[in-house]
Amino acid sequence: MFTLNLNGELLVVKKPLIFGILNITPDSFYSQSRYQNDKEILTKVEEMILAKVDFLDIGGYSTRPKATHISEEEEKKRVIDTIFLIRKHFPTIKISVDTFRSSIAKAAVEAGAAIVNDISGGNLDEKMFETVSQLNVPYILMHLKGTPQTMQSLTHYENIIHELIDYFQTKINILRALGQKDIIIDIGFGFAKTVEQNYFLLKNMALFEVLNCPILAGISRKSMIYKPLQITPEEALNGTSVLHWVALQNHASCLRVHDVKEAKQVIDLWELMK
């Protein structure tokens, strides 16, 4: 059990949280997670709410390998317009913003987001840590080397567990010194890691509990599933559910998913095993 302070509302978390992915992008790796107009967005949001999603994770910048770089202005327009749209129709739903830019994190929280989810761990914007600590919202700290455009060439580690724990501990110390209270760590499956490294980290994910932070697993429909099985992301739901179970076994506190209903079923069955 842990707690999160969401803009003054204390959320007591007794079972794993589900972050439902909402990509306002034309080029995310999974085609069915791309939403281009208000009707598509609201239909998907309603579907996720009915499936008992805990947070909508809204992103306007595709972070798949070799994704196209877009301007800050374009990302901000995609994200903030979407937050306003969702808050108008579903005012009580909790929102996480998926961005590595501090200005967009700030604008999103001001528009109604309650968590900042940064794939770069502060590496791509030197103002992110200071900004998020001033916003006083939970921060998802992910491991990444390089950028989405270069990360696939940066997969060498002498000792991947030690290097990631050192990475997280260093950044957690900086955040705590700035007054950041709630931190969730994300190992960053698929980001500057080979398929084999992803599975090694998943198998040993419980070791990261030494950091005393909740752990988020973002493995939904990723290449670590569909490449070994020689299938497409669209065919990777079954493999995703299997690995969500493994992540829960290895102490994941949050799942970031494309398919909320199926993830909720995994968690419900998992709870029966405790």
pLDDT in tens, 58-109: 999 877 666 677 799 999 999 999 999 999 999 999 999 999 999 999 999 9
Q: String of b and e for 192-206 (b: at least 16 CB within 10 Å)?
A: bbebebbbebbeebe
Distances (CA, A) of 24 to 5, 86, 109, 149, 172: 26, 13, 17, 19, 29
Give the pLDDT score at 25. Answer: 77
Pair 244, 250: CB distance under 8 Å: no
Q: At a CB cut-off of 8 Å and minimum separation 6, what does 130 contact?
A: 102, 178
Structure token digits, residue 53: 């999603």
Which alpha helices (DSSP H) does 118-159 contain, by range? 128-135
User: In sequence order, which ranges of the chain are alpha helices (DSSP H)?
Assistant: 38-50, 72-89, 102-111, 128-135, 160-177, 195-203, 223-229, 237-249, 260-273
What mean pLDDT value characterizes the chain? 93
pLDDT value at residue 64: 66
Neighbours of 145 (CB within 10 A): 20
Closest CA to 16 of 273, 270, 224: 270
- Measure CA of the first residue to CA of the last residue in the chain; give whole Å: 13
φ, ψ dihedrals at 2, nearest 5° = -150, 170
**How does pLDDT run across 134-187, given as a tens digit for each residue?**
999 999 999 998 777 777 878 999 999 999 999 999 999 999 999 999 999 999
Rounded to the nearest 10°, the torsion over CA 132, 150, 215, 200 is -160
- Whole-angstrom CA distances from 60 to 25, 71, 77, 186 are 6, 10, 8, 19
Domains and CATH numbers, the chain: 2-273 (3.20.20.20)
pLDDT of residue 28: 56
pTM of the model: 0.94
Asked if the model's pLDDT at residue 41 lies above 70, the reply is yes
CB 121 within 8 A of CB 142: yes
- The residue that leads in pLDDT, 35 or 46, is 46
**Phi and psi of 95, rounded to 5°?**
-125, 135
